[in-house]
Structure 1
Amino acid sequence: MADVLEFVRAYRLLGRPVLTTRNSFHFKASAHSAELAEAVLGLVESKAGRIDELLIDGEEIRPQATTLSKAWSKIELCYTLDTSGDVPVFKNIDQLMARSKSYVRQSLPPHFYLLDDDLLSSEEPIDPQVKSLQGICRLIVCLADLAHFHDEKESSDEYKLVFVADDSTKGERAVTLYPFLDKSLLACEVGVALVGSLQGSNLDLNPHLLKERAIFRASLIEHLAGCLDGRERFRFLVATWSRFIELYENNLSTYLSGFSFHKIKQEIAVAQITIADQMSKVVGDISGKILSVPVSLVAMVAIAKADSVLESTILVAGLTITSALLAETLAAQKLQYDRIKHSRRMMFSAHCSSSHQYPSDLRKCLEETVYSLSDNEKKLKRSLLVLRAICWVPAIAATALHSFIYQAALIQGAQKLIKLILLPPC
């Protein structure tokens, strides 16, 4: 785009001569100056057009071979601008719009010049119309990347962009846009930061880009549902761009909320399985050990058939030790139960405090999970208490049976022990 900048510099040095036709101007000077000589050479080098006629001191000079004399006294030239579009120099904004077919397929060049307004697009401050035009052209390029189909034929009079809804459950729905440039559109303010972030080239930077692009298309179809003509759809989209962005952000927020709630539901399910698994392990450990209670009761038969007090006493002591060990094991299981209960409260406390923000189905799922786990905890706690009491049954029963069978011997032994204690020393 150096050709545009070179042309603008030269054109301004010539005093910005007015176009005498649609795309040509004449220039005359009757005094030599280094600036004028530099400007003429700049016109040749810029390639923004061609010098049709160049007279120096009344003699016609070929511009291709010109080496301007430093001592000329009069110069006259006729310059015709290139209308092919290779160098974006235009009479005014209207002429740019008239040649805008290529600009609906690509971004505007970084530099273009409007002669009547002496307006270079890259100069600060940027003209509001130029800024709006750049935004609309960039928008069209970005929409082409988001569209499912677009017309690739450069010679086509209409540039077609087709957007199809990805949600097949609602039936096949599509809209077609025919982007165009029109001076009336320049009054609209279009921000392209959002649509620019949805370009396919950003896929590596955003893992959710494909879904966001799908939401954008669905939002576009929803927003343009009331328009039938492709050109009017595009005009309506540009005129209501801020409303469309709001619709897209609401749809995206709804999707993200649904995704977040689904993730929370998965977390609740995993937590429920984890807590239930830990309680199941506690029950499994108890089940294996509590079987020793009925086995211990069988020893009652051995006590009844014991041949002596000593043999019976040893059996009672063994049952008592067994009951004590089982009671300590159950106490350890009670501590494990307390840890599981504390973990369950920690895992669900955050969800319970935020449950008022959840949808009704998720809130109901959370309530049912907490209730069922709490109910299981209560049953497990009761089971531990009952089993700790039951584990002492063999020891108590054995002691009672031993006392009943050997009552006389025990009384006699007790009397001897008392006398021994109370007997004064010799």
Structure 2
Amino acid sequence: MSSVIEFANAYRKLGCPKSWSKNTLSLSCATFSLEVSEAIESLRDSRAGQFVELVVNGDDLSPKDFISSSSWGTLSFTFTVDRSGAVQIFQNFEELMELSKSFVRKPLPPHFYLIDDDILSSEEPIDKRVKALQGICGLIVYLADLAHYHDEKGSEEYKLVFVADDGAKGERAITLQPYLDTEFLSYEVGTDLLDSLQSDNLDSNPHLTKERSIFRSTLIEYLSGVAGGEERFKALLSTWAKFRELYENNLATYLSGFSFHKAKQEVATAQLSIADQMSKVVSDMSGKVLSVPISLAVVIAISRADGVLESTILVLGIVLASALLAETLAAQKLQYERIKHSRTMMFESHQQKLMQYPKDLQRFLAEATTGLSRNEKKLRRSLRTLRFISWLPALAAISLHGYLYQVDLMTSWVKVKELCLAAFKFTLCAIHSQ
């Protein structure tokens, strides 16, 4: 058990006497009390101090020879609390603040006892003033992690130096000189913010380096009008809520800028991707459209054909080429529709947040959307036009073939009709004969 806890239990068994003088407790008892005997034994074993004098039944007695179960008639003792710093026992909060300069350099110990107030720091429910003191000491330790330098030239002084990481104009650095005062025990100071900014959290927070930088800049901005390291520290504690609000506003501004920059990059990437896909459609389409002039050149060969059969074969070839080209362009149209749908999906989330974006990002998004829409309309018109043009060689070939060989075609048509009619009659007769 901790020496502090043992001392607190023993002191309470003694009835929390107020007979203290310069960290020395003196007490006399005229009648035997088992609780007093147990308390003396606990004080001896606690190593919280030492007995200057122990008189039992009028005789001086060594503390190590004292047995709590032995009866006695009269008893008096003088016990001095250890003030070397190894045992955290104090008369009151004022003495704690005065003697414990090291508390501004490290967290409070888990156990300390305040004699006048009978407060054991680790005992539930924890006193509000103890909670406030623990929070302030924890805050000082966290501030030390965020500070660039620790100035400890003087044994009584402990200064934290904060330097702005950005190139902003104005104050570039400030110095805080943490200290403890009973006035601070009424302040409401939380350590959750500074706890999240500790360097140990770097792996879990990719923005931690920037957030720490924003904290330092905010600290300099907030306290630049206060003179003196101690005064700045007091101003920070007394108006902690206002400082935190300023920091959160500055952080929100940074995160918004980061988010908007990321959104701008996403829009630019989407724009390039959609434009690249459209370019591929145009390239594929351009290569295939070159077959139209070739087919038109073949139309000329129809006029030089040796007969209707040769001309017919040429016409069939041109019609087949036009049909294949038309189907290819139809596939390109489907590809265009998929690209258009992808563009709509990519930009839909940004369009929903349009009013939250800054003016320059709104303008950038509007320009990207307008430009891509124009490209889509132009590509759609080109696909329609080229699909119509793809059938021109076939229409020209059929028209020229019909014009040159209309007599042969009519004769052939008549013969085909006669053959069809004869076949129809033959089929009817066969049906009736059955």
Scaled to the shorter chain, the TM-score interval is: over 0.9
Give how far 1:107 is off: 1.2
Shift of 1:415: 4.4
Shift of 1:127: 2.2
SS of 2:362 mapped into structure 1: helix
Structure 2 partner of 1:304: 303
State the SS of the aligned residue for 2:277. helix
Aligned residue number for residue 210 of structure 1: 209
Structure 2 Cα separation of the partners of residues 280 and 195 of structure 1: 52
The yes-or-no answer on 1:402 pairing with 2:401 is: yes
Question: What stretches of structure 2 of length at least 5 have no aligned partner?
Answer: 427-434
User: Which region of structure 1 is more displaced relative to structure 2, 16-25 or 313-322?
Assistant: 16-25
CA contact (8 A) 2:150 2:161 kept: yes
Q: Match of 1:135?
A: 135
Gaps of 5+ in 1: none
Distance 1:300 1:23, change over 3 A: same
Deviation at residue 395 of structure 1 after TM alignment: 1.0
Give yes or no for contact 1:164–1:172 (8 Å, CA) kept in 2. Answer: no
1:89-238 counterparts in 2 under 5 A? Answer: 89-152=89-152, 156-170=155-169, 173-238=172-237
| Shift of residue 332, structure 1, vs aligned partner | 1.2
For 1:209 and 1:141, the matched residues in 2 are separated by 18
Deviation at 1:417, TM superposition (A): 4.4
CA distance in 2, matches of 1:258, 1:395: 59
CA distance in 1, matches of 2:244, 2:152: 27
Please report how far the alpha carbon of residue 421 of structure 1 lies from its aligned counterpart in structure 2 after TM superposition.
6.0
Instruction: Describe the SS at the equivalent of 2:21.
Output: coil
Contact 2:171 2:224 in 1 (8 A): no
Q: Distance in 2 between matches of 1:207 and 1:307?
A: 81
The sequence identity of aligned pairs, in percent, is: 58
| C-alpha distance in structure 1 between counterparts of 2:360 and 2:417, whole Å | 75
The amino acid that maps onto 1:198 is: L
Tell me what 1:323 maps to: 322
Structure 1 Cα separation of the partners of residues 106 and 269 of structure 2: 51
Note the C-alpha offset of 1:294.
0.7
Preserved contact between residue 171 and residue 220 of structure 2 (Cα < 8 Å): no
- SS at 1:221's partner residue? helix
1:241 is aligned to: 240
CA distance in 2, matches of 1:19, 1:72: 22
Inter-CA distance 425–93: structure 2 relative to 1 (3 Å threshold): closer
In 1, Cα distance between the equivalents of 2:206 and 2:61? 64
Verify the 8 A CA contact 2:37 2:67 in the aligned structure 1.
no
Quote how far apart the aligned CAs of 1:64 are.
Answer: 4.2
Write the distance in 2 (CA, Å) between the matches of 1:117 and 1:169.
49
Look up the SS of the partner of 2:54 in the other structure.
Answer: strand
Superposed CA offset, 1:330-359 (max 9, x none): 111111111211221122122112201111
**What amino acid does structure 2 have at the position aligned with 1:139?**
L
Rounded to whole Å, the distance in 2 between the matches of 1:50 and 1:420 is 136
- Of residues 399-408 and 252-261 in structure 1, the stretch that sits farther from structure 2 once superposed is 399-408
Distance 1:343 1:299 in 2: 40
| Structure 2 residue aligned with 1:385 | 384
Per the alignment, residue 339 of structure 1 pairs with 338
Distance 1:98 1:404 in 2: 118
CA distance in 2, matches of 1:381, 1:228: 70
Indicate conservation of the 8 Å contact 2:132/2:186, yes or no.
yes
RMSD: 2.0
Output the amino acid matched with 1:204.
D
**What amino acid is aligned across from residue 220 of structure 2 in structure 1?**
I
The aligned amino acid for 1:148 is: H
Aligned-pair distance for 1:219?
1.2
CA distance in 2, matches of 1:378, 1:218: 51
2:94–2:182 Cα contact (<8 Å) kept: yes
1:119-149 CA-to-partner distances (Å, cap 9, x unmatched) read 2222233222222111111111111111111
Provide closer, same or farther for how the CA distance between residues 97 and 19 of structure 1 changes in structure 2, counting only shifts above 3 A.
farther
Tell me by how many angstroms 1:234 deviates: 0.3
Deviation at 1:313, TM superposition (A): 0.9
Contact 1:26 1:78 in 2 (8 A): yes
Contact preservation (8 Å) 1:4, 1:46: yes
Aligned length: 425
| Counterpart residue number, 1:374 | 373
Q: Secondary structure of 2:135's partner?
A: helix
TM-score, structure 2 as length reference: 0.93
User: After the TM superposition, which of the residue ranges 357-366 and 55-64 deviates more from structure 2?
Assistant: 55-64
User: Structure 1 pair 421/62, CA: closer, same or farther in 2 (3 Å)?
Assistant: closer
Q: Which amino acid aligns with 1:406?
A: Y
- SS of aligned partner of 1:408: helix
Q: Does 1:70 align with 2:63?
A: no
**Alpha-carbon distance in 2 for matches of 1:414, 1:69:** 138
